[in-house]
Structure 1
Amino acid sequence: MNISEILSTKFTEFDIGTPLSKVAGAFENQELDAVVVTDGDEYRGVVSRRQLASSSNQPSAKVGSQVQHVPTVERTEDVREVARLMIGSDAKTLPVLDEDRIFGVVTADAILEAVRPFLDAVTVEDAYSTKLVSTTPEATIGKTLNVLRESGIAHLPVIDGDELVGIVSLYDVIEFTTRGGSKSQGGSSGSFGGRGRSGGSHGGFGAREGDSDRMLDLPVRNLMSDVVVTVRRSAPLDEVVETMFEHEVSSLVVTADQTGEPVGIITKTDVIEALTWERDDRNAVQVFGLDLLEVMDYDDVSALIESVTSKYGEMSVIKASIELQEHKEQSRGVPLVLARIRLVTDRGYFTADGEGYGATHALRLAANAVERQLLKGKTYGQSKKQSDAESQEHLYGWWLSG
């Protein structure tokens, strides 16, 4: 399948000499992710909503100073290759060229809309990030902004104890601190940067004209949205995409099926990345908490996964996710660690935990538990509508049909 049917020839274009303030105004269109920058008839690059929101340039600066050089694609480019390019460049909009001239753009949303019917073969469990970066209601807006920027994320769940009480976006914080001076009541107007909000914000903290320092010192509970869109960890990815489009958000907080406890986050980027998995990609290993391992590095972990899966005949690992979590409990100075392994393979989905003193010990216990599952032929999520082989073919076989 190529992008010829999903690209758009309608795009917002600015000359390199356009002031950033004018470009920022274009993003009041909540559907706009990025603008194309040109120099006369010559394509120069793009500027994204997120990039502009994260920059500290003066509004009088020219858009040419913020140009991002992302990959360009041809009209007949394969959708899967475009997904890879988006992941590699951290861009959700790529320019489409025709004989070196800008012809249109292809967006992550267009790709997700096109592939949504094929995403029921993979669940949130397979794709979400278990590293949940969050803040508290009493954290200052300034500290929250630093967390968003340092973590390279656009949305931050607000958790009070174990309860998910809200969410705050990078765009809302930027709008509040840079454009809120003309307002005397709290809350977002829904203009530039408001994308990703799914409910009203807490307001009413009085006049704040011209006092940016005081605004940064306010608690984030005054700015956060208390309407948070969540998804179950066992939900299929087609449901994730449908929910994102319905609520006009780019990320969902992932909750445990039984307790409802927030356990991670899934973004449009995570779903796009799922499209890039390969049947025979044995290096598709993600390790969270690698620094906890005492005597192993990334290659050692990959080799361990390879060893585990190669003992039981031909098996293709589509994705392996290893999470290491350190507890406060120690024994002779060695911390107790929980290791969790999740494998997406062409034979099904396998998951197992191991807990031991030291990350290496815990990881090997988890690997042994996965081996036992493989030996018994037991997979996680047997209740899926299709058999594992059919599910894998459903997700990956469609690429050949276009």
Structure 2
Amino acid sequence: MDITDIVMTEFVEVDVDERLAKVRAKFDEQNPRGVIVTDDGAYEGVIGESELVKSRIQDDTKASVLMTSAPRVDHHEDIREVARLLVEGDVQIAPVFRGDSLAGIITGDAILTAVLENLDALIVEQIYSEDVINIAAKSTVGQAINRLREHGISRLPVVDDRGSLDGVITTHDIVDFVVRDHERQHKGDRSGDRDRMLDLPVENLMSSPVVTATPDESVEVAVQRMFDNEISGLVVTAGEGQQAVAGVVTKTDVLRALTFTEEETMDVQITNVELLDTIKREEIVDSITQVVDKYQEMNVMHAHVRFHEHKEKLRGTPLIQAQIRLRTSHGQLAGSGEGYGANHAFHVALDKLERNVLELKGINADKEYRGQLLRKLNEI
């Protein structure tokens, strides 16, 4: 299936010199998944909602500073390949070209809508992220913004003193508050001062009750719930009263699942490939394969490697966070780490992944031994 029938020919467009205040206004008025940035009509990049938070709320910032490079997509491209391009580019919108002409845009939502009926074959447990970054209800909005930036995520489950789910705060919640704060300041109301906004407790902005999913639900049901509530992710809950935070499932997780293959060779996907420095894709694939081969009974269907750049640098080399997640016949396995440069960060994460793989191997070997011992005892 290609994307010809789901390309959107109507989209929001801003010039590279447009100021952030006007870009934010367009988000507030039209609530798009993103906007196309052009220079004298020529495509330059896109701006997503998360970039508004990363802008440090500077109204006079130009669009060119905030825009992200998004892959050009041909209007006849296969839908799975487009899903891969969006995930690897860490974007939810991409320009669609017919030859050299900008014909429209493709969004993650359009892809998910087109394949929705086919998602009943997956359950949430197979694709959700278990490494959850959360925040306490009494923490400040400023702390929430820093945590969102630091981990390159768009939502934080909010927990109470007992660790139970209390709410969720997203980049959209913060952007929406900033827009209202901006309007108050223009009306002369100084109660919306930026510093006071950053000092507000998270519970003042969070959404509650939270729209959630359970691990055993079908991905089709979960995605439909996202659409019904106009949100891009769900907190996955488990335990008594379904109040324990087990993970988060997002539309990006679902798009990533569309790229899974059942081929004998491991399918590896890399997000933010532009951060690769002295390490190449081939080395990443070979390194993960070597780790996986240490547990030959485990079959890996899909591997996802994500790089995220922090602002800190050492002799010009940025601090990078690397996350490796495997979808295997024995469940999900992950490893993460930080280092200066993608090469260093990847190998720190790889070491942690290897420990987790060997630990799983040891646990299963121990279970097998106990099983053999019990069988022998029964024969006595």
| TM-score (norm: length of structure 2) | 0.72
Q: Does 1:306 align with 2:306?
A: no
The one of 190, 202, 209 equivalent to 1:227 is 209
Structure 2 matches for 1:14-93, cutoff 5 A? Answer: 14-29=14-29, 31-56=31-56, 58-93=58-93
- Where does residue 223 of structure 2 map in the other structure? 241
- Where does residue 331 of structure 1 map in the other structure? none
By how many angstroms is 1:208 displaced? 5.9
SS in structure 2 opposite 1:96?
strand
**Structure 1 residues 257 and 303: alpha-carbon distance in aligned structure 2, compared to 1, 3 A threshold:** farther
Distance 2:269 2:37 in 1: 36
The number of residues matched between the two structures is: 313
- Where does residue 6 of structure 1 map in the other structure? 6
- Where does residue 395 of structure 1 map in the other structure? none
Distance 2:138 2:331 in 1: 39
Distance 1:283 1:51 in 2: 29
**Structure 1 residues 268 and 369: alpha-carbon distance in aligned structure 2, compared to 1, 3 A threshold:** same
Distance 2:39 2:285 in 1: 44
The answer (yes or no) to whether the contact 2:51–2:67 under 8 Å persists in 1 is: no
Distance 1:362 1:99 in 2: 47
**Structure 1 residues 309 and 343: alpha-carbon distance in aligned structure 2, compared to 1, 3 A threshold:** farther
By how many angstroms is 1:176 displaced? 2.9
By how many angstroms is 1:169 displaced? 1.5
The answer (yes or no) to whether the contact 1:283–1:302 under 8 Å persists in 2 is: no
By how many angstroms is 1:41 displaced? 3.3
Distance 1:175 1:240 in 2: 24
The answer (yes or no) to whether the contact 1:350–1:370 under 8 Å persists in 2 is: no
Q: Deviations over 1:318-338 (max 9, x none)?
A: 1369xxxxxxxxxxxxxxxxx
- Where does residue 380 of structure 1 map in the other structure? none
The answer (yes or no) to whether the contact 1:121–1:236 under 8 Å persists in 2 is: yes
Q: Does 1:364 align with 2:358?
A: yes
**Pairwise CA RMSD of aligned residues?**
3.4
By how many angstroms is 1:57 displaced? 6.1
- Per mean C-alpha deviation after superposition, the further-off stretch among 153-162 and 50-59 is 50-59
Q: Which is helix-richer, 1 or 2?
A: 2
Distance 2:303 2:40 in 1: 47
By how many angstroms is 1:150 displaced? 1.2
Distance 1:371 1:285 in 2: 30
Amino acid at match of 1:367: K
Distance 1:94 1:12 in 2: 12
- Per mean C-alpha deviation after superposition, the further-off stretch among 300-309 and 258-267 is 300-309
**Structure 1 residues 373 and 299: alpha-carbon distance in aligned structure 2, compared to 1, 3 A threshold:** farther
- Per mean C-alpha deviation after superposition, the further-off stretch among 174-183 and 90-99 is 174-183
Note the residue ranges of structure 2 that are not aligned, 5 or more in a row.
271-283, 305-324, 334-351, 369-380
Q: Deviations over 1:133-154 (max 9, x none)?
A: 1101111121111111111111
By how many angstroms is 1:52 displaced? 2.5
SS in structure 1 opposite 2:145?
helix
By how many angstroms is 1:272 displaced? 0.4
Distance 2:53 2:326 in 1: 35
**Structure 1 residues 239 and 344: alpha-carbon distance in aligned structure 2, compared to 1, 3 A threshold:** farther
The answer (yes or no) to whether the contact 1:208–1:215 under 8 Å persists in 2 is: no
By how many angstroms is 1:236 displaced? 1.5
By how many angstroms is 1:26 displaced? 1.1
**Structure 1 residues 320 and 36: alpha-carbon distance in aligned structure 2, compared to 1, 3 A threshold:** closer
The answer (yes or no) to whether the contact 1:126–1:344 under 8 Å persists in 2 is: no
Distance 2:140 2:180 in 1: 18
The answer (yes or no) to whether the contact 1:309–1:371 under 8 Å persists in 2 is: no
Q: Percent identity?
A: 35
- Where does residue 117 of structure 2 map in the other structure? 117
- Per mean C-alpha deviation after superposition, the further-off stretch among 362-371 and 120-129 is 362-371
Amino acid at match of 2:215: R
| TM-score (norm: length of structure 1) | 0.69
Q: Does 1:166 align with 2:167?
A: yes
Distance 1:5 1:319 in 2: 28
- Where does residue 317 of structure 1 map in the other structure? 300
- Where does residue 279 of structure 1 map in the other structure? 262
Distance 1:244 1:144 in 2: 22
Distance 2:47 2:80 in 1: 23
- Where does residue 140 of structure 1 map in the other structure? 140
